[in-house]
Amino acid sequence: MEAPEVMYHIGMSKGDVGRYVFLPGDPGRCELIASYFDDPKLIAYNREYKTYTGSLLGEKVSVTSTGIGCPSTAIAVEELIMIGADTFVRVGTSGGMQPHFKAGDLGIVTGAIRDEGTTLHYLPAEFPAVADVDVVLALREAAQKLGYSHHLGISHTKDSFFGQHQPERMPVDSRLLNRWKAWVEGGAICSEMEAASIFILSSIYRKRASGIMLIGWNQEGENPEEHVTDLNPLIETAIESVKILIEKDRE
């Protein structure tokens, strides 16, 4: 499929972004992530899609917000791929799912439970949403280098925020609660709303992707009311991981 000159949703063309792209959900986080770049510039801001481009280690890199959920995220990733991006790092917040996790830990996502509807328009449910091993290893190396507490594992990608946090008021409460129990017992590390679509699209188009999540709170933990909002460890680890990838890609 030939890409239009200017992408309809993200408002950009070939040359506007680097091959490495950070993907937060919130447009408000783009400027914070871009502050770690050399010479960052605002490139476009349309709907929920805000993009800055700069450089790391002399390599062009970008950050594009995706909005909340898989539908808007899939649009962003599709259009970013059309204009030359090939490596994606999802940078976001999440809820922890294992009792021993603490608020403020980082979750490095190796795959995602496809508990959403968008990816069914791309591949059957049996096809796994799996992260790229090189991006996962770069994220782990970065977290180890910076000394941040982190966990590797499967994320739960969902469509309904309140379906997770207030399932008891939903008409399908028993289904939601039973499935959540299964995800936790299966070892899922965190719950978020975008990773599955990024991984499925990256599989189809032969691109690279993983994600790193701040575990801002943990409803399964000892202190479920504890809430951490400091994004700096999250962003520093994501930035360092892309520097590691750049250096490895140059070898």
Predicted model pTM: 0.96
Considering the domain boundaries, does residue 12 fall inside one? no
Q: Which amino acid is at 251?
A: E
192-229, pLDDT tens digit by residue? Answer: 999 999 999 999 999 999 999 999 999 898 888 889 99
Considering the domain boundaries, does residue 92 fall inside one? yes
Considering the domain boundaries, does residue 231 fall inside one? yes
Considering the domain boundaries, does residue 117 fall inside one? yes
Q: Which residues contact 237 (CB under 8 A, 6 or more apart)?
A: 106, 139, 142, 143, 146, 148, 150, 212
Query: Domain with 135 in it: what CATH number?
Result: 3.40.50.1580
pLDDT value at residue 218:
93
Helix axis angle, 195-205 relative to 70-82, nearest 10°? Answer: 30
Q: Which residues contact 201 (CB under 8 A, 6 or more apart)?
A: 74, 77, 78, 81, 122, 207
**With a cut of 70, which residues of the chain have pLDDT below it?**
1-4
pLDDT value at residue 2:
59
The pair of three-digit structure tokens given for residue 218, joined into one six-digit string: 């943990």
pLDDT value at residue 3:
61
Considering the domain boundaries, does residue 113 fall inside one? yes
The pair of three-digit structure tokens given for residue 150, joined into one six-digit string: 């982190």
Q: Are 117 and 70 in contact (CB under 8 A)?
A: yes
Q: 10 Å Cβ neighbour count for 168?
A: 8
Considering the domain boundaries, does residue 87 fall inside one? yes
Q: Are 83 and 17 in contact (CB under 8 A)?
A: yes
Tell me the residue range of the domain where 147 lies: 20-250
Q: Which residue has the tokens 């190796």?
A: 110
Considering the domain boundaries, does residue 14 fall inside one? no
Query: How many separate domains does the chain show?
Result: 1
Considering the domain boundaries, does residue 7 fall inside one? no
